[in-house]
Amino acid sequence: MEDCIFCKIVKGEILSHKIYEDDLVYAFLDVKPVSPGHILVIPKDHHENIFDCPENILSQIIKVSKKIAQLLKDKLGVEAVNIFNNSGGVAGQDVFHLHFHVVPRSKKDNMKMGFIGKKDLNINLEEIKNKLVLES
């Protein structure tokens, strides 16, 4: 993708603070971090979101995200991390090149991240389960 900022970063056309690179994955410091050490992990090839990313690349992104989390714990002393992805505009994706955030967390950071379940959705869990069960 010619105007994809993450593709330009992978090609070296835009400066980044690289933390990790292999044949499939590139990881770098987010330029608008929510905490010190906030890292983005991306596929080197352009894949818009989780829906069009091949499983082998997605698996490598998750493996690298774990390595990055451990690195943050070992080198920066972080207490915990959030690892997340937004796939699709409705989900909050704003750069349409698949990326996972690895966000360092501490008790003192006062960040609020999470989901608030809705008890009043009036949904039939059994009906949804029957539509979604995967065969192994």
Active site (catalytic) residues: 99
Give the SS3 label for residue 21.
Answer: strand
Determine the 3-state secondary structure of 102 from DSSP: strand
Cα–Cα distance between 16 and 8 in angstroms, integer? 10
Pull the structure tokens for residue 114. 């999470």
Which whole-number Å values give the CA distances from 110 to 33, 58, 79, 115, in the listed order? Answer: 15, 31, 13, 16
